[in-house]
Amino acid sequence: MEKKSIINIIIFIIIGVIVGAFIPLNTHQMTMTMDMKRDSFISLRESIQGEQLVHSKYRCCLEKPCIYCIEKTPGHGEGAECSCQEDIYNGLHPCGECIGEILEGHGNPLMSEYFARAIAEKTGQYDAIKEIISEKYNISVEQQL
* pLDDT tens for each residue of 77-136: 567 788 899 999 999 999 989 999 999 999 999 999 999 999 998 788 899 999 999 999
Strand partners, 31: none
Domains of the chain by residue range: 2-143
Q: Which residues of 33-50 are buried (b: 16+ CB within 10 A; e: fewer)?
A: eeeeeeeeeeeebeebbe
Q: Rounded to an integer, what distance in angstroms lies between the CA atom of residue 53 and that of residue 72?
A: 18
Q: Rounded to an integer, what distance in angstroms lies between the CA atom of residue 118 and that of residue 88?
A: 5
| The model's pTM | 0.69
pLDDT of residue 99: 94
Q: Nearest 10 degrees: CA dihedral of 3, 7, 10, 15? A: -160
Encode pLDDT of 45-71 as tens digits: 888 888 887 888 888 999 998 888 887
Residues in the chain: 145
Residue 31 has pLDDT above 90, yes or no: no
